[in-house]
Every structure is written in C-alpha cells, then in structure tokens.
Amino acid sequence: MADLTQDAPALSDAGARLNREWIAAWVADPRQFRKDAHMPRVLTDARQAADVAAYLSSLGGTAPVNPPGGDVVRGGQLFANLMCSACHTAPDAAAVADSDTRVPLAYANAKYRPEALRQYLLKPEAHYAWNPMPNFRLRDEEAASLAAFVLAKANKVVDAPAGTGDMARGKQIVASSGCLNCHTLDGQASALKALALAAIDGAHWTAGCIAADPATKNAPDFHLSGVQRDALLALAATDRSSLSRETPMEFSLRQVAAMRCAACHARDGKESAVGTDYAADAAALTAAYPPPQPSGSNAEGEFFAPDQRPPILTWAGEKLRPEWAAAFLGGRIDYKPRPYLRARMPAFPARAKLIAEGLAAEHGYSPTTPAYPIPDEQMAATGQKLIGAAGGFSCVQCHAVGAAPPVAPFEAPAANMKYIAERLRKDYYHRWMLNPIKVDPGTKMPAFADAEGKSAIRDVYEGDAVRQFEALWQFLLRGKDVKALQ
C-alpha cells in the first residue's frame, strides 16, 4: 500500500517556520487545534511540552518578520476564488461546528512566522511530501497576499504551557518519545522503537494505543473513536497480509476521499460540498471579496463564466488519458484547460501518478494509453471545415483553435482545441460528442447528433454524425498544429 510510505513534517527547520508558543500548545494537545489531527498526544506533562517547544524552536535559524508585498484584499479574493473554503474554515470564522471536518485557520497567526507561511504556500510539500495541502502554483505576489490575508484575519491565541522550557531536555524528549519514528530531523534516529505488528499477541491489541480507557494507556493517545478501534481490532484478527496487497482503484478511492476532491467536484450524482454544505461560506467570502471582474473579459483579456462549478469527476478515469492526468495532478501541465474558471486545479505531486492510474482502473482501463496515430489528413481536412461556422458545427464560436481565439463565446471560452487529443481518450470523446448532456447534465456543450446518429449537416458523409465526429478527431490529432480556416 503506497499509503504506508507516507511521511510526517520534517523538523530540521521547525524554528524558522513555527512559533514556540504554538509548538508547545500543539505538542501538549494537537486536537485543541484539529479534531482529526493525525498527530497523537504523546506527552501529558506540560513542562515536557514546553521543553520540546524550546528545542524545536531553536532549529533552522530565523526568518524575516513580514512577507513582502502582501495585499489583504487581494488575498481575500484569492481565498474565495481558489475555493479555499472547500478544505478550510475562514481564518476569522466566529465558530466552527463540531461536525465540520475542514481544517480551521483561526490559529494560523499564532502558528506561523509570516515569511514562513508565504514560503509554505509557494511549496507546501517542501517539508512534507505527502502533505494533504496541495500546491496551487501561486505566483510570489499571490502567496504574499494570501499569507497577508490569513495572518490579518486569524486572531486566536494559543494557550501554551507555562515556561520557556529547557532545550537540552527537549532534545532528549524528542529522541526518546518516538517523535523521530514519524518525523525526520537531520538524520537523527529515534531511541524508542515500537514492536513490529507480528510481535504483538492477541491480548496486547486491547492495550497501548488502542486501549479504550485513557487511564490504562502507556502509549501515544490517537483519540481513536469506537469505530476506529473496532476497525483496528478487526485488522489485528487477520494475518495483516492485506497491507501488502494493493489495487490502484482502492488507492484512488481512498485518496479522493482523503484529499477532499468531492468538496470542489461533483461526482456520481452528488453535488460538491462547496455547492451544498459550504455554499453559504463561499457566498460570504465572494461578497466580502468580490473578484475584480465578475464575468466577461478583464484587463488581461481573460474571460470568466458566471457558472464557476469545477468539472464533474464521475467519468474522470475513462475520460482522461492517465499519462496526462498524472502530469496535470502533479502540476506539470503549463496551461489551464478551463480558462473560464477563476479556480485552478492544485497539484498533488506525491500522489499524482497513483491517483491517475487508480481513476483509470475504476473504469476498467489500463494505466497507460498507446500513442495516437498520425492523423488521416483527408479526414482531418474535412474536420477542419466542420469546426467552422460556414457549413460546419461552428465550434470556433466557443473554442479557441490554437492561437485563434473563439469568435463569439457563450459566456466564456471553452477548451482550446489544440489540447483536446492529448487530454482525452478517443472512445470517451465519441461518447461525449454523441450526447454531451447525458454525460454531464450541467454542460453548456450542445448535442449535434439526433437519436438516429444523424447531424444537421447532410452534405458531409450523408449526415453520419459518427463519421463527422471522427473527422473532427482526426483534425484534433494535429494537436498544437491545429488551425482554423480563414
């Protein structure tokens, strides 16, 4: 299971990133900040927490006090536009319901040194490869403004253990308490090693970390629920061989849930959380920090649609070529497939390839696709005519074709045709073209074929829509060389 290779945040420069008081309070009880924190409560002595904080805060030197050039209003717009409320409650949220599973930001000012937050937003995976916080590929000014917004609005202070702590004792506690079994620190190894799973007999599975009564624990407290304890005990009753078996589909299902993909994307008939559970928060943020241009063309020539819903995930595995999906999820695609969205797809570098392969497996597809053949130039020429307005489907009205912008887009431009073949599987493309609304009921793409598979263009292939769509596909296979007829 790839999940078993997950890391924890590196501690080598913790002092340059995190404030001492926050470290002490977090070590004392992680769940006062996050109800679902993976970090267990290891220490019950407040003095020890202060000692650990004193040591960790000495690591990494110092960082500049303020992030340069941060604009709070611009940061608020980014927070709204990037749909940060899908995973986070607002930094100035008055109260958060116990049922809300989003990561709160109210303590961000207490946690981060300002410049460190800017650096973190630029590259969240720098200290933690499996960090669930994705990389939005922010520009420097965007990261500075987003950091400025979060720090200006996050006003909660920590209740840290009293005292400045002793660095020498803290160093010894970090080494002896098992912290370095998960965290890395300049090559240091943990002096405390847990037993191997195979070495734990049946009776001991109800003690230690899994003990129901906190008073009987002599182990880290993971604050396990009854359901979680029962699940672990059910695993313990097996030979644990399932930990060495894995399927890509299971990995993608777990990660889509863990990365909260459904918070932004609708899937399998269920609307996104931003469109339902968190709709009020999203609307409040947009009202407080309206985008510079509500819709239409802005000063940079960008167009934004009134409908800002991200694409549905229902068919992602049979829609996208896994090689492209892996590059896209990994942040290695240098263009935005949907230029009409203010939001942008963030990158999950450590998970990208495995998620892409798993999504394909969910639909019965292999993790690779063969290279497409060179286009049939005769059919491609027909396809080039069919994208036009004169005797064609008028695709050029909404779609850019290479360097040529759309002629008269409905609300906002659709995907550029030069990228379509590198993104899509051919069989999905044909299914989509025959009935787009059946695939995605919310699409703006019209259907050009009737129930008998005929189009309104009867002088090309006798109106056979499938052959016409194939001609279009052959044209799309030209990739970045596609051109609209003048």
Alpha helices in 289-396 (DSSP H): 316-319, 322-329, 352-362, 377-386
- List 303's β-bridge partners, or say none: 297
Determine the Cα–Cα distance for residues 335 and 369; give it in Å rounded to an integer: 21
Contacts of residue 318, Cβ cutoff 8 Å, sequence gap at least 6: 360, 363, 364, 365, 425, 427, 428
- List 319's β-bridge partners, or say none: none
The token pair at 319 is 């829609």
| Residue 203, pLDDT score | 76
10 Å CB burial of residue 391 (0-12, 13-18, 19+) is: exposed
Determine the Cα–Cα distance for residues 465 and 458; give it in Å rounded to an integer: 9
Mean pLDDT of 219-226: 90
In this model, does residue 189 exceed pLDDT 90? Answer: no
Rg (the chain; Cα; Å): 26
In this model, does residue 133 exceed pLDDT 80? Answer: yes
In this model, does residue 170 exceed pLDDT 70? Answer: yes
| Residue 301, pLDDT score | 46
DSSP-based three-state secondary structure for 18: strand
Q: Which of 70-79, 256-265, 323-332, 402-411 is the least confident region? A: 402-411
Determine the Cα–Cα distance for residues 98 and 414; give it in Å rounded to an integer: 40
Determine the Cα–Cα distance for residues 113 and 319; give it in Å rounded to an integer: 43
| Residue 63, pLDDT score | 64
In this model, does residue 255 exceed pLDDT 70? Answer: yes
Determine the Cα–Cα distance for residues 46 and 162; give it in Å rounded to an integer: 8
Domain positions in the chain are 2-153, 194-238, 248-362, 377-481
DSSP-based three-state secondary structure for 296: strand
Write the DSSP string, 188-235. ---S--PPPGGG--GGGGGSGGG-SSGGG--S-B----HHHHHHHHHH
Determine the Cα–Cα distance for residues 301 and 409; give it in Å rounded to an integer: 13
Determine the Cα–Cα distance for residues 249 and 151; give it in Å rounded to an integer: 39
| Residue 299, pLDDT score | 38
pLDDT in tens, 438-448: 999 999 899 99
| Residue 294, pLDDT score | 52
pLDDT band per the 50, 70, 90 thresholds, residue 300? very low
Place of tokens 């599975």: 205
Give CA separation, 68 vs 115, 118, 127, 275, in Å: 8, 9, 22, 34
Q: 10 Å Cβ neighbour count for 62?
A: 9
pLDDT band per the 50, 70, 90 thresholds, residue 160? confident
| Residue 192, pLDDT score | 86
Mean pLDDT of 467-471: 98
- List 464's β-bridge partners, or say none: 454
Contacts by 152-156 with C-beta closer than 8 Å and gap 24+?
152/72, 152/75, 153/72, 153/90, 153/91, 153/92, 153/105, 154/91, 154/92, 154/105, 154/106, 154/107, 154/108, 154/109, 154/110, 155/91, 155/92, 155/106, 155/109, 156/106, 156/107, 156/109, 156/110
Among the four given CATH numbers 1.10.760.10, 2.40.50.140, 3.40.50.720, 3.10.180.10, the one describing domain 377-481: 1.10.760.10
Q: Do domains 2-153 and 377-481 have the same CATH topology?
A: yes
The mean pLDDT value of the chain amounts to 92
- The architecture that CATH gives domain 2-153 is Orthogonal Bundle (1.10)
Give CA separation, 354 vs 173, 251, 350, 418, 479, in Å: 37, 7, 9, 26, 26
State percent of the chain over pLDDT 90: 76
